[in-house]
A and B are shown apart, each in its own frame.
Chain A
């Protein structure tokens, strides 16, 4: 029997993996991929809650609309973020987060 808690647990673990990746990795591109993973984990909780909260016998489409908007914003964010990474690479010749220390006191 698959319950709502099972889906939420999978989403929680996926979020934890993404969080660990953001902390551990030093390649900006991989950090970005881990951020995407965390966003998707949040989407999974939204879709799970939408399916288990029936409105007139159908899944709650308000939650799925929110997922639609999240995916759109994430796509725009990736495009801008990768353009920033390319600009950073041009300036520093590296994608290592430790090569960017200008704001460090």
Chain B
């Protein structure tokens, strides 16, 4: 990917990320976060992670943010809007972010393994094809395309089937938990 696109999408991700924190209206925050996640999905795709990038848009920018907007609209929050900014907290938060960024920059400055460029690290389809066990994956690799979703699914079901089941159980527990939490108490309604 050309460097211009990297800087463009990194800027989109970070600037809209700042927008989430700065915006006073929660709806504006949520919409900024959608844009930020879209930029992040583009960065994922620039790293040849097509499946994760798609998932980022579908799950985060789509489902999760719609849920956020739904709750914001449902609760109809206006009370917190007109309050003055607490400058002590704002300066503290800014200082924390700047210190953290400086720390990361200094750590990365000494990280020699990280200086390898993306262009020097090309994918080797033939090497992958010789190791692939499924014919559909092998055929696509032989054609020179990366069957990202297929390789991802193969890894999930071949190496981590138990973990996949556990995550499914977690989602079920989450669903049950949400129902229990949102159910109005009978006694509460009577009183």
| B152 and A75 contacting across the interface, CB-CB below 8 Å | no
| B100 and A59 contacting across the interface, CB-CB below 8 Å | no
Within 8 A of A (CB), among B123-144: 123-128, 130-131
Interface residues on A, range: 35 or more
| B155 and A62 contacting across the interface, CB-CB below 8 Å | yes
Report the minimal beta-carbon distance from B174 to chain A, rounded to whole angstroms.
Answer: 4
| B55 and A71 contacting across the interface, CB-CB below 8 Å | yes
Interface of B is mostly: helix
A33-B63 contact given A64-B152, A87-B182, CB 8 Å threshold: no
Within 8 A of A (CB), among B81-111: 89-90, 92-94, 96-98, 100-101, 104-105, 108, 111
Question: Which A residues are CB-close (under 8 A) to B163?
Answer: 65, 69
Indicate whether A104 reaches chain B with its CB closer than 8 angstroms.
no
Question: Which A residues are CB-close (under 8 A) to B47?
Answer: 7, 47-48, 50-51, 59
A40-B64 contact given A64-B51, A86-B75, A87-B181, CB 8 Å threshold: no
| A75 and B64 contacting across the interface, CB-CB below 8 Å | yes
Indicate whether A100 reaches chain B with its CB closer than 8 angstroms.
no
| A56 and B127 contacting across the interface, CB-CB below 8 Å | yes
Indicate whether A76 reaches chain B with its CB closer than 8 angstroms.
yes
Question: Which B residues are CB-close (under 8 A) to A43?
Answer: 44, 52, 56
Within 8 A of B (CB), among A1-50: 1-10, 12-21, 23-27, 29-30, 32-34, 36-37, 40, 43-44, 47-48, 50
A83-B43 contact given A30-B20, A76-B174, CB 8 Å threshold: no
Report how far A87 CA is from B185 CA in the complex, Å. Answer: 11
A2-B116 contact given A75-B63, A79-B174, A83-B178, CB 8 Å threshold: no
Report how far A13 CA is from B163 CA in the complex, Å. Answer: 31
